[in-house]
Amino acid sequence: MMTKNKKIFLAVISLLLLLSFILIAKRIWFKGALPVRVVSASTRDIRQTVSSSGSIEAREKIQVAFEMAGRVKAVYFKEHDRVKKGQVLARLVDDEIAAQIDQARAAVLQAEISLKNMERNLTRARELYKKGFLSLEGMEAAQTEYDMGGELLSQRKASYEAVKARSHSTLITAPITGTVIRKFIKEGEIVAGPLSAGRISEPVPIAEIADLSQMEVITDIDETEVAKIHQGQETLIKVDAYPDTILTGTVREIALVTSERREAGRNYRVIVSLQNTPAWLRLGMTSTIDFIIQEKKGILCLTADAILQKESHSVVFLIKEGRLTEREVKTGIGDEEYLEILSGLNPGEEVVIGDLSKLHQGERVTVLR
């Protein structure tokens, strides 16, 4: 009669023999089988895009400069100041022009007084002529004197207005409402205007102002892709400095001529307007723009490494009874990782992934889990 310990011992031995048999059977069965990995067909959203790199710029950015040369008397702004259109930014020393204005104003007053005297003389000359006490030549001389006095007054008024206009040139105002992003002058410095030293020259800017409320992304699109871009097209923008934040925008402008020529082709300048401008955004920041070409939601997809592209069609590999079965599928749109499956596969079906070019119909495989 068997003891309890002996029964336990025999049961353990039997279990070990059974496990050994199973392992040996598996080795025999899977000997020469190719280990593969699989993935299940599933539904997801796909967005087909054209990507490009660009930089953040302001839609309106202007450099301002004096219209005349002179010494800077006062500066009324700092970098990063918010300024309004028409706000005075700086002033040149204007003592000499102020004196010229006074002289021109006095000359106008003198001409006006002289003209009034000439008008009285002309009126008296006409009365004397009618009474026969003055010759025609005398009356005409009084008329000529009055006419010349009128011309003199007009000339002096024009001179006065010209000097006043020059005085306005000693002031510079903001041409737009925006933020001063760069300042180039200090009080006491001498600046050059477009008419410095009696000749036309490039004016020296005193500041650069940008409207930071309207930001854009400027990029260049290759000629092979530009046909896919159109005005009003939606885009997704990722700024390199903030990769976890996605901004949205729309295409505002597409250049009609090439902006740059490369060995491999030509590029066209595309401007994208941002739909919102976060406070952390800075001019010149690099970014990646995805132009949305087509988008589908909740469609059957596979990763690109699960589909083998043949000459005229696409196939996937399924596993039936441990062997590969090739099946043709029809694909649709794709993104960087996934391809749409239009037909040939059902949701949840498992297909092989990896280097499919080395696989063959009927080949024995084992799945790595």
Task: Write out pLDDT tens, residues 71-102.
Answer: 888 999 999 999 999 999 998 877 666 666 77
Q: What is the pLDDT of residue 263?
A: 54
Write the DSSP symbol of residue 336.
S
What integer pLDDT is reported at residue 344 of this predicted model?
93
Rounded mean pLDDT, 36-51: 92
Higher pLDDT, 173 or 16: 173
pLDDT for the residue numbered 331: 93
* Architecture field, domain 61-93+170-207: Beta Barrel (2.40)
Please name the helix (run of DSSP H) or strand (run of DSSP E) that holds residue 225, with its range, or none. Answer: none
| 353: nearest Cα among 53, 68, 39, 117 | 39
In the predicted structure, residue 183 carries a pLDDT above the cut 60: yes
pLDDT digits over 105-128, tens only?
888 899 889 989 998 988 898 888
Half-sphere exposure of 107 (CA within 13 A, CB side): 17
Phi, psi dihedral angles at 241 (to 5 degrees):
-75, -20
| Exposed/middle/buried for residue 177 (C-beta within 10 Å: 0-12, 13-18, 19+) | middle
Is the model more confident about 297 or about 7? 297
Mean pLDDT along residues 193-221: 79
Range of weakest confidence among 93-102, 217-226, 348-357 = 93-102
Q: CA 262, CA 267: separation in Å to the nearest integer?
A: 8
For domain 94-166, give the CATH number.
Answer: 1.10.287
Query: What pLDDT is attached to residue 68?
Result: 76
Which CATH architecture fits 50-59+211-296?
Answer: Beta Barrel (2.40)
Give the model's confidence band at 25: pLDDT under 50 very low, under 70 low, under 90 confident, else very high. very low
Please say if the pLDDT value at position 314 is more than 60. yes
pLDDT at 28: 41
Lowest mean pLDDT among 49-58, 192-201, 208-217, 343-352: 192-201
Rounded Cα distance, 348 and 139, in Å = 115
Contact by Cβ (8 Å): 20, 27:
no
Residue 346 parent element (H or E): none
Query: Of 244, 216, 206, which is closest to residue 83 (Cα–Cα)?
Result: 206
Query: Per-residue pLDDT averaged across 135-156, rounded?
Result: 88
Strands of the sheet with 190-191, listed across from one edge: 171-173, 88-92, 70-75, 190-191
The helix/strand count (H/E) of the chain reads as: 3, 21
221 contacts: CB under 8 Å, gap ≥ 6 = 50, 52, 229, 267, 268, 270
Contact 275, 237 (CB under 8 A): no
Give the domain ranges of the chain.
Answer: 34-48+297-367, 50-59+211-296, 61-93+170-207, 94-166
The CATH number corresponding to 34-48+297-367 among 3.40.225.10, 3.30.300.30, 2.40.420.20, 2.170.130.10 equals 2.40.420.20
| Count of alpha carbons within 13 angstroms of residue 40, beta-carbon side | 7
Q: 366 vs 259, which has greater pLDDT? A: 366
Which is more confidently placed, 25 or 264? 264
| Of 28, 59, 4, 1, the residue nearest 271 (C-alpha) | 59
Cα–Cα distance measured from residue 281 to residue 52, given in angstroms and rounded to the nearest whole number: 19
Of the two residues 118 and 164, the one the predictor is more confident about is 118
What pLDDT does 24 receive? Answer: 46
Query: What percent of the chain stands above pLDDT 70?
Result: 84
Contact 87, 179 (CB under 8 A): no
Q: What does the block give as tokens for 239?
A: 């700024």
Name residue, tokens 């006006």: 112
Structure tokens at 76: 């009324």
To the nearest whole number, what is the mean pLDDT of the chain?
85
pLDDT value, residue 176: 95
| Inter-CA distances, 138 with 128, 130, 241, 300, 313, Å | 10, 12, 88, 108, 111
Alpha-carbon distance of 1 to 11, in angstroms, equals 16
Residue 40 near residue 350, CB atoms below 8 Å: yes
Average of pLDDT values for 335-353?
92
